[in-house]
Structure 1
Amino acid sequence: MPKRERLTPERIRRYTCDAGAKQSFLWDTEAPRLAVRATAGAKSFIFESKLNRQTIRITIGDVRAWGIEEECDKTTGEVIRPSARQEARRLQTLIDQGIDPRQERAERIAVVEAKREEATRQQATVGEAWTVYLEARRPKWGERHMLNHENMAKAGGEPRTRGRRRGESATTQPGPLHSLLALRLSDLDADAVKAWLEPLAQRTPTQAAQTYRALRAFVAWCADRPEYRGIVHADACNRRMARDTLPKARAKDDCLQREQLPLWFEHVRRLSNPVHGAYLQALLITGARREELAGLKWDDVDFQWKSLTIRDKVEGERTIPLTPHVAALLRDLKARNETPPKKPRKLRQSDAEDAPEWKPSPWVFSSRTAASGRLQEPRIGHNKALTAAGLPALSLHGLRRSFGTLAEWVECPAGISAQIMGHKPSAIAEKHYRRRPLDLLRQWHTKIEGWILEQAGIEQPTEEQAGLRVVA
């Protein structure tokens, strides 16, 4: 028979676990379903009853936190220890109604947890969401695009690694988005964006436009995510604000003209760094995007079948012809890359052992000084060549534009030059009815290269001279 006594604070205090037992129970006579359970190290109130012929046992709580009767502070009236007897009666009432107290407790905990999560969600900052956003987009973005977004939110204060202009700080400046990162996401509304955008647009209009577009894409992404939906203001970056604050976008038209080709080639080929010179010439002749060509590896170059495999931001990957002049440039780079550096005459044994083992770079346009091992900033060499030649400013993307423009001089079909450049097909015929083999692209690409070199006063090498496989 179970032990039954009217539970009092003194009886609860004196009650201990029976000798040799893992746990013992002292049941209350006033609330028959309530008991004190004693184990070797603790005592707690428990409730036991039956629901649908199944025994249900629930732990109410430790006897130090719960009293047999409710205890209140005499001054404030605040409950110090709730009543275990009242809780047992409440649980029995639920069972009498056919409600499982365990399910009721789980639902109450779920409500509390939901409120806690909602409170946490409401406190999410722009910086926290921005970090999640970049990680979510990392598999879909290129290296350069990701780096631009990371720089937008950087804190600054790092030592400058490149030369600075007179009067500039020796440390890097915070990114344009950094001032918004501490804001709660729920506070990023149209007024906050406008107050941030207006002074930025006055200082650096181009940077402001680029950053605003990135912020607008970020806000749209947040509005579509369950964890941020409902707290982000989807209209924080509206069209009217952009139209009134940002400068009007103008189509760029920088492009090499036919008569400028001799000067451009002359001074690009004079650059002291042969990697820069080869890269810029290949950029013009292939019409590739800056990072597509900079990320080229030797595994992507096929001298036997005269092709280049480029990591394409549109299709993921595309194969274009390897023309004779570009092949000759890459042959020279390959020979240079595979030639080990000369060892100094005097080298101590310890230094020789510590020196890293030399091996060729996997990158076509390699760089010994860049952390990535490949060419990172070709604009410096290009701008030097433009200044020496007295030519107007020309961006690296302008070389891509130049290829598409100069290709028209040889009456190359627009679809062929677009396919070489990696443009997304825009017409139904291009999307579904044009499957051009590499040989057809090579025929026109070699013709385009030959015409460009002819205008520059350079003789196009034969396939034998370029070290390419000759098809009889």
Structure 2
Amino acid sequence: MAKVNFTAARVERHKCPAGKSQSFLWDSKAPGLGLRATVNGAKSYIFQGKIHGGTVRVTIGDPRSWTIDKAQGEAHRLQILIDSGKDPREEAAGQRAAHAARKVEARRHTATVGEAWADYLEYLRTDISPKTKKPRSPRYLADHAALAAPGGEIAKRGGAKTVRGPLAPLMTLKLSSLTAKTVAAWLADEARERPTNAAHAYRLLKAFIRWCGGQDEYAGTIAPDAYDSPKVTAVLPQSKAKEGDCLQREQLPAWFDAVRKIQNPVISAYLQGLLITGARREELAALAWAEVDFRWRSLHIADKVETESGRTIPLTPFLASLLLDLKRINDTPPNVRQLRRLKQRGEKWQPSPWVFASKTAADGKLAEPRIAHTKALEVAGLPHVTLHGLRRSFGTLSEWVECPVGVVAQIQGHAPSAIAEKHYRRRPLDLLRMWHDKIEAWLLQQAGIEFDARTAQAGMHAVK
């Protein structure tokens, strides 16, 4: 190949001829130094040599950044490497690896818990759970985010400012600061105000620390005894349900009477639905009409455990009658005056897709039923019971009809707790319906509510 003496003018004039993808100009002063021009106009100094019978080509850099003298000097250095039997590409790879190692080491010393927590959340979002072999549910991910949130934002429910999550005080600390002493002090502070939340946050923090130990950029940063030191376990509170957060059999008449008198029919039906189905509050609130089958008496609920397919549970007769009333309300168009107002605003009326619809909620479905429930409890003279307590009440009261535990768990969406339940029980919907109807009938009997199930079934069959 022809060689020329590199000058600024020659470097500037060198271009790739038409019809070629690249063109080379070789320096006569520095062995192996070339100037490459591509069809898109880019130029770069390169070095080309031979080692162990093969050709080696290495990019040096852009002529706008490298002077001719510096490019020639780099070519001489690379030739010396080849003459000594070293491959310049291996040297470059070693330098890149060393640079990456220095970056990792620097991050190990500077990374905060919040930065690593963000990486951990991304891992939870994108990887399959090793336990369930399924993607993690949105609620599970939201729980992790909420426990580390700084608070102070306007809540979706009620409009008040959100409270900081129990893990928030740790987020600004460096990872290396997560020692047994630090975690124990944090846990003791949180346990004084909210012990159950603190215990839950500790379990998530424990999983996070274990995950960090398996990541190259975080391994060895956190002290190995940060979560299981006796200092930590000594202040770890027991996670337990609230005392009395469950309706008793003798309280059912007063509870049903007060809840059925709530003026908002959506909230009234929703609260009764929580007790009758034992569903989680978010699950039932997100129930859509498309997931209600009156003909075959079933509800399809987005399950916390079965994140992909959800679960199908029976639609009991009394609950069906409540939903039929809601459907009639939902499907009834507004009066002429209201329709005119909608038209003036450029809006068009259509039935809500949600069973428990709300005109004031941002997403169109019921968001805050707790206030009405609390007032109903006060009217009934009953101790406070949370919405989750209604779910707990279903599981507890079902024992009065001697319903199998596995049936209750399947209706409520609990994960199987035994090998037989997990691998050898496949209860069809009609078997669940038999027991679920018995549970509902017993609840109504204890509440003193007279209800004709046959009339309700006739109404369900009439729905298209």
Q: Same fold (TM over 0.5)?
A: yes
Match of 2:120 in 1: 133
| TM-score using structure 2 length | 0.80
- Cα deviation code 1:257-300 (max 9, x no counterpart): 22111101000111122111111111111122222222211111
Range moving further from structure 2, 191-200 or 327-336: 191-200
* 2:227 is the counterpart of 1:237: yes
Structure 1 letter corresponding to 2:173: L
Q: Distance in 1 between matches of 2:421 and 2:4?
A: 89
SS in 2 for 1:265: helix
Q: Distance in 1 between matches of 2:302 and 2:247?
A: 25
Residues 341 and 101 of structure 1: CA distance in aligned 2, closer, same or farther (over 3 Å): same
Determine if contact 1:220/1:234 at 8 Å carries over to the other structure: no
Match of 1:352 in 2: 343
Unaligned ranges ≥5, structure 2: 17-23, 127-134
Shift of 1:386: 1.0
Shift of 1:251: 4.5
* 2:169 is the counterpart of 1:179: yes
Out of 402, 406, 419, the residue aligned to residue 411 of structure 1 is 402
Determine if contact 1:153/1:175 at 8 Å carries over to the other structure: yes
Match of 2:21 in 1: none
1:442-453 matches, within 5 Å, as 442-453=433-444
Determine if contact 1:34/1:45 at 8 Å carries over to the other structure: no
Out of 289, 302, 320, the residue aligned to residue 298 of structure 1 is 289
Q: Distance in 2 between matches of 1:264 and 1:455?
A: 11
* 2:195 is the counterpart of 1:205: yes
* 2:247 is the counterpart of 1:256: yes
Shift of 1:211: 2.7
- Cα deviation code 1:84-121 (max 9, x no counterpart): 55x55543333234332233223323322332344345
1:374-393 matches, within 5 Å, as 374-393=365-384
Match of 2:87 in 1: 100
Q: Distance in 1 between matches of 2:116 and 2:87?
A: 40
Unaligned ranges ≥5, structure 1: 6-11, 69-81, 165-169
Range moving further from structure 2, 172-181 or 363-372: 172-181
- Cα deviation code 1:183-221 (max 9, x no counterpart): 232332323323333333334434433333332232233
Q: CA RMSD in A?
A: 3.7
Match of 1:151 in 2: 146
Residues 278 and 387 of structure 1: CA distance in aligned 2, closer, same or farther (over 3 Å): same
Structure 2 letter corresponding to 1:110: A
* 2:332 is the counterpart of 1:339: yes
Determine if contact 1:15/1:38 at 8 Å carries over to the other structure: no
SS in 1 for 2:28: strand
* 2:111 is the counterpart of 1:124: yes
Q: Distance in 1 between matches of 2:409 and 2:445?
A: 22
Q: Distance in 1 between matches of 2:391 and 2:43?
A: 79
SS in 2 for 1:245: coil
| TM-score using structure 1 length | 0.79
Match of 2:19 in 1: none
SS in 2 for 1:468: helix
Residues 119 and 251 of structure 1: CA distance in aligned 2, closer, same or farther (over 3 Å): same
Higher Rg of the two aligned structures: 1
Structure 2 letter corresponding to 1:208: A
Match of 2:132 in 1: none
Determine if contact 2:7/2:68 at 8 Å carries over to the other structure: no
* 2:416 is the counterpart of 1:422: no
Determine if contact 1:36/1:43 at 8 Å carries over to the other structure: no
Q: Distance in 2 between matches of 1:42 and 1:144?
A: 51
Residues 384 and 88 of structure 1: CA distance in aligned 2, closer, same or farther (over 3 Å): same
Determine if contact 1:46/1:57 at 8 Å carries over to the other structure: yes
Out of 220, 245, 263, the residue aligned to residue 272 of structure 1 is 263
Shift of 1:304: 0.4
Out of 82, 96, 100, the residue aligned to residue 109 of structure 1 is 96
The alignment of Structure 1 onto Structure 2 pairs a total of residues equal to 440
Residues 256 and 240 of structure 1: CA distance in aligned 2, closer, same or farther (over 3 Å): same
Q: Distance in 2 between matches of 1:143 and 1:401?
A: 23
